[in-house]
Amino acid sequence: CAHYRRRCRIRAPCCNEIFDCRHCHNETKNSIKIDAVKRHELPRHEVQQVICSLCGTEQE
**Order of strands, edge to edge, in the sheet holding 58-59?**
17-19, 8-12, 49-52, 58-59
Angstrom distance (rounded) from CA 23 to CA 10:
11
Closest CA to 49 of 1, 4, 7, 12: 12
Residue 35: predicted pLDDT: 87
In tens digits, the chain (60 residues) has pLDDT values of 999 999 999 999 999 999 999 999 999 998 888 888 888 999 999 999 999 999 999 999
Q: Where are the alpha helices (DSSP H) in the chain?
A: 22-29
